[in-house]
Chains A and B, each alone.
Chain A
Amino acid sequence: MDNVDMARAFFGSSMAFHIIFATLGVGIPLMIVFGELMYQIKKDDHYKIMAKRWTRALGIILGVAIPSGTIVGVLLSLLWPGFMEIVGQVIAVPFQVEIWAFFLEAIFMSIYVFAADRLSNLMRIISVIFVAIGATASAVFITNVHSWMNTPRGFDLVNGEVVNVDPWAAVFNPSFAVTATHVVVSAYMTGAFIIASIAAFQLLKNKNNNEKEYHRKALFLSLMVGGLMSLTTAINGHETAQMLHEYQPEKLAAAEGLFETTAYAPLAIGGYVDKESEEVIGAVEIPWALSFLATNRFDGEVKGLNEFPKDTWPPLYIHILFNIMVGVGTFLIIISFVSLFYRFVLKKTYPRWLLWILTTTGLFAMIGIQSGWIFSCTGRQPWTIYYIQKTEDAATTSPGIGTLFVMFISLYVLLLLLTMIIMLFYFRRNPLSKELHGKGVNG
């Protein structure tokens, strides 16, 4: 591997690690807010306990999310100094504002956790709302930089020099709103389904009726949030596709394995894109659907890859990533609405087969998140800033990245294992039964 590939692998795996914790760090606070609100509305202690236990889990998650976020933030300058040189001159504002969001989140997280017993109900809810706002805002601001990489605005590059800088035009670049919405609602969705998974699992194996009642409430709340957010993600995903159609047509073309520009373009589901024969092998094609997705019209014209020089094509495997992302989203919408159908229409308890499927939703949501961002970043290749800077020109020239890469990967593996072990130990030592009987949470 040369330095550029090494830097990509290094940064990519660091992001993959961070995104697990960052996504939960955005998604779980929203669930805690709902838990607190439900407690105020229904005065049911179960919701209070829920909020408390989710907060404990969030504390552990943030213990990794904060340092791993520091890692990726600093690695940007270390591994992509050429990129950050332009970023600093054009899109430094959201990075800066993101720090204010971090402060807000950190301050109110400490207040919510360590001062809860000294706060009034209202102040406690306000603090946790500020935690959620801070977490969401930091996701929005960092996505702002990501969206700018896809649709760079607010400057000109003349002989390698950045000129005519307009920081606000950079901030309000055309893909910002739609991409930020996508990131935020999909994180909410993932946080909800992680909780749904745990609740469903507990309903399957737990025998205690009082505890089952608690988990049934947790499952219902998370399915409501998860169902709503997965639906919103899908609607917004449609807008994202239209944004790609307009601003990054080769990414959409590669995602769908479309080589020739056509009207009535079909949507290819599954299979893989073959560069030689220029077709998608093993896919189910839905006629006209891609045209409709991209343009809202069946006769809309969608650009194919052959419109672009081959050396600026994104890697064609992004078709698979795109399918995984969309597949996961579809699965989550269906499963949450089937579950809610059982509850609202059939007025029955969830059957065991459904609970088994529900236990997988958290994992699938996370897989969807991972494939989504890898799709967005590899789909931008060979550019790090679309049509401005190639990835190879952004990378560091320092020697020794390989060694550091191995060190960091070992660290990530260790932290993943430890986080799981610590979570298990913590919740085993502080079982729900203890808290349902009115004993407080330790630690």
Chain B
Amino acid sequence: MNEAYVAISLLWIFIFIYSIAGAIDFGAGFWAFVFEKNEQTRAGVLANKFLSPTWKITNVFLVLIVIAFVGFFPRATFMLGTLLLWPVCIILILLTVRSSFMVYAYSAKYFQRALKTSSAISGILIPSLFISVLPITLGGFIEEQNGTMQIQFMTLLQSVTLYTHIGFGLTSALYLSALFLADYAREARDNAAYIIYRKWAIILGPLTLGFAVLVTETMVEEASWIVDRFRDNGLWFGLSIAAFIFAYISLWIKKGDDIGHPRFAVVGCILQYGLASYAYGNAHMPYIIYPILTIEQGVTNPEMFRSLLLSYSIGIVILVPSFILFWKLFLKDQKYLNPNENPEE
């Protein structure tokens, strides 16, 4: 494997981690808002319980992707930075509104509803917008004008493929977060919340799969090359669907008195997205933007490449223990998850 492939694989790992963590994060923000007024369950409280300590860390993963891209593919920065100015700026505005308003809403009881509504809605739009960058990279929407590469926004906005991508991003974020929160509710022994999140996961699961098929079906002509390559990666996509079925069925497995095994479902679902995005990425190679930019054109020099790998190794050694501590305190500790059952002395 040459340097370009090592670099793109690392980047793929980061993007994959962020897409899962981000989907859960933005989805949880939305569920917290939806179930806030629900008197019967603590589903909203639970979503906030997950969100409060984690959103900052999830956000760092986003910055990590941008920085890793500039570090590993500096020669692609010029083109990508120029092309994606508008879409990325809109994502940045939404992200800022989402995070800051969420923090404001924690701190002030005044106009809390308005703050929470804006935060939840801008949050749930973000994954859809991220996904909508994908069709741009497949060709058909970029033309050179006045010596600058530009996205043809009118063409893009009128194409069906944009909307199927957006639908896929939206349903995926909601599905993943519902599944995850179902598991989180089980961990917190909160059955009422578990039932609600399980119900939504059951509704959303098939929808995500439907959108995934629609995405493939609505590709524009210029992107048909990747559909052909999808067929070469059929095995991975097949395994991904198998993982989906496994996850979905897990929601009905009986475990003692409880119905469903959400931990299996979450693992299956992550596997499903992992396999599918591996297949997608594999089919996308070697292009970053088809057909004008490949990973070999963009990759950095060997000296920088080695230094970056060194910095990653050191970073991982320092951070893994911190992540484990974090995990124990916020995702495992019953005193945090369920303070009612474990009153503090």
Contacts and interface: CB of A to CB of B under 8 A. Distances in A.
Interface string B308-345: 10011011001100110110011001011000000010
A237 B19 CA distance: 44
Contacts, number: 235
Given A107-B323, A165-B303, A415 B78 contact: no
Contact of B307 (A93, A426, A443): A93
B5 interface: no
B108 to A, nearest CB: 4
B154 interface: no
A73 B78 CA distance: 15
B301 interface: yes
Interface in A63-93: 63-64, 66-71, 73-75, 77-82, 84-90, 92-93
A204 interface: no
Interface in A92-111: 92-93, 95-100, 102-104, 106-111
Contacts of B318: 100, 104
Interface in A218-262: none
Contacts of B108: 421-422, 425-426, 429
A346 interface: no
Contacts of A104: 318-319, 322
A97 B317 CA distance: 13
A92 B70 contact: yes
Given A66-B59, A114-B330, A118-B329, A422 B70 contact: no
Interface stretch (A269-277, A304-312, A396-404): A396-404
Contacts of B300: 88-89, 92
B140 to A, nearest CB: 19
Nearest to B67: A95
B104 A59 contact: no
A63 B104 contact: yes
B52 A92 contact: no
Q: Which of B79, B319, B322 has the most CB of A within 10 A?
A: B322
Interface string B80-107: 1111111011001101111110111011
Interface in B20-61: 52-54, 56-57, 59-60
Nearest to A90: B304
A324 B345 CA distance: 55
A110 B330 contact: yes
Contacts of A79: 81, 85
B253 interface: no
A283 interface: no
Which of A109, A114, A168, A401 has the largest number of chain B CB atoms within 10 A?
A114
Contacts of A426: 107-108
Contacts of B93: 407-408, 411
Contacts of B304: 88-90, 92-93, 165, 167
A52 interface: no
Q: SS class of chain A's interface: helix, strand, loop or mixed?
A: helix
A404 B87 CA distance: 11
A404 B103 CA distance: 25
Given A99-B67, A107-B326, A118-B335, A398 B150 contact: yes
Contacts of A418: 100, 104
Contacts of A96: 67-68, 71, 308, 311-312, 315
Contact of B80 (A77, A95, A400): A77
Nearest to B322: A107
B28 to A, nearest CB: 15
B18 interface: no
B192 interface: no
A216 interface: no
Contacts of B322: 103-104, 107-108, 130
B158 interface: no
Contact of A74 (B68, B88, B97): B88
Given A63-B104, A92-B74, A97-B311, A103 B60 contact: yes
Contact of B147 (A78, A165, A397, A429): A397
Contact of A106 (B57, B88, B92): B57
A199 B43 CA distance: 41
A9 interface: no
A415 B92 CA distance: 14
Minimum-distance CB pairs A-B, first 10: A88-B74, A63-B103, A81-B81, A92-B71, A110-B53, A106-B56, A67-B96, A167-B307, A100-B315, A81-B78
